[in-house]
Amino acid sequence: MKEYPYKSQVLEKLGVRSCINARNWSTNIGGNWIDDRVLDAMNEVARTFVDMHELFAKTDQKVAALCETEEAHITSGAGGAIELAVAGCMAGNNYGLWSRLPHTENMPNEILLHRGHYINYTPQWIASGAKAVEFGIAGTLKSSKRELEGAITEKTCCISYTFSYNNVPRGYLPFEEVVEIAGKYDLPVVVDAASELPPVGNLKKFIAMGADIVCFSGGKAVRAPNNTGFMIGKGKGAEIIKGIRDHSFPHPGWGRGHKVSKEQIVGLAVALEIFTQEGDQLYDQQRKLAEYLQTELHKIPGLSVSIIPNDGISYEHLMMPHVPRVLMEWDRGKIGFNAEDLDRFMTEDDPPIFLRNIHYFNYYSNREWRMIDTFFLRSPEEEIIVERLNKYFRKV
């Protein structure tokens, strides 16, 4: 077997194994690997002290400039960005209202949430004390415009929209309709776009489409520390973000729980600058990796292998970020094992390999499948993956 060069000695001492990430930016397996330039910046700032108010003000300004928008704020992950954004929509720049959170009875506290957007991260929308008011029907082919407008009351504080490959793809809610209704009633639209990078252009896309606040993850494609995120805003969204910065960490109150260290703040700012300059250049390298994997795995008897480009033209899901993936399919009846059996085998050996196990098509096929995500693969990890898959498929 190829020697694995990215094994952590610190983890080794703790009795914890270092893994190969062929799944993508899953928080459950550590999120991402961090560029040395980002680590250097974090280590440098770790040796000093700083006025956190000043640090937020200056780095938020830098993030806004990188995203070409009016305002930004660095947060504790995309989940933290969503929670703070909703709090800002409810409390504005009112100290009295912020001091009551998460008790929101005497303020507009209802978020409008389409049922097709109810996913694993939906609880973040109500963590600040807001109430989710659902509308629409998941999977319907008709417009939910009438249902959205009918759900608006004097208690509505914002309309949520999630751009995610976890959404129900059938009959998705057009974002343009949400922006139109929100404008009619002067309500802010808050977007969860945690996983919508790359391409780099998506940093500006959703604001240009009419969103007031957009929440991104720093710990995914941006390759900042895994527990960082940021929000950007324009117009009324920019005013809401100013209120958030004035009433969250390092200020006291409910928002203080969303603490971000000086190292994380600097790491996010540096990583985002690198991403804006280099993020779109990664695709061609990843596509070559996918082609190598396809060529080598095609030699395994009984295994069907194809590339899903996810290039905006051919993709798994209409909201999928631009990352090429390798799809492996096989007939369980002929081969004799299912995808879960393969998962166990791939993670039992050292280093463990985590494959992508989310599927969006061929719902009516009995074929087993797994994917190899190319985003975080580093040489010679692709060779180790091929070697491991050969070992398993050829022994059964």
- Confidence (pTM): 0.93
Sign of CA pseudo-dihedral 205, 209, 213, 217: negative
Structural domain boundaries, residue 208 = 36-278
Q: Among 278, 312, 328, where does a domain finish?
A: 278
Residues 265 and 222 in one domain: yes
Asked if residue 2 is part of any domain, the answer here is: no
Q: Is pLDDT at 363 greater than 60 in this prediction?
A: no
Mean pLDDT of 213-219: 97
- On whether residue 260 sits in a domain, the answer given is yes
pLDDT at 142: 66
Same domain, 257 and 291: no
Question: Are both 125 and 259 inside the same structural domain?
Answer: yes
d(CA 340, CA 31): 22
* pLDDT tier, 364 (very low <50, low <70, confident <90, very high otherwise): low
Whether the pLDDT of residue 140 is over 80: the answer is no
Q: Are residues 176 and 66 in the same domain?
A: yes
User: Is residue 191, in this structure, part of any structural domain at all?
Assistant: yes
214 plus 253 within the same structural domain: yes
Residue 304 and residue 199 share a domain = no
Instruction: Give the CATH number for residue 50.
Output: 3.40.640.10
Strand ranges (E), 40-168:
71-75, 110-114, 131-135, 156-162
Query: Per-residue pLDDT tens for 13-56?
Result: 999 999 999 999 888 888 889 999 999 999 999 999 999 999 99
Question: Would you state the structure tokens that stand for residue 153, as one six-digit string?
Answer: 């009351």
Among 253, 278, 303, the domain boundary falls at 278
Q: Are residues 251 and 317 in the same domain?
A: no
Residues 87 and 188 in one domain: yes
If one counts the domains in the chain, the total is 2
298 and 218 fall within a common domain: no
Looking at the DSSP bridge assignments, the partners of residue 369 are 329
Q: Residue 219 and residue 78: Cα distance in Å, rounded? A: 9
Mean pLDDT of 222-249: 97
Question: 248 and 205 in one domain?
Answer: yes
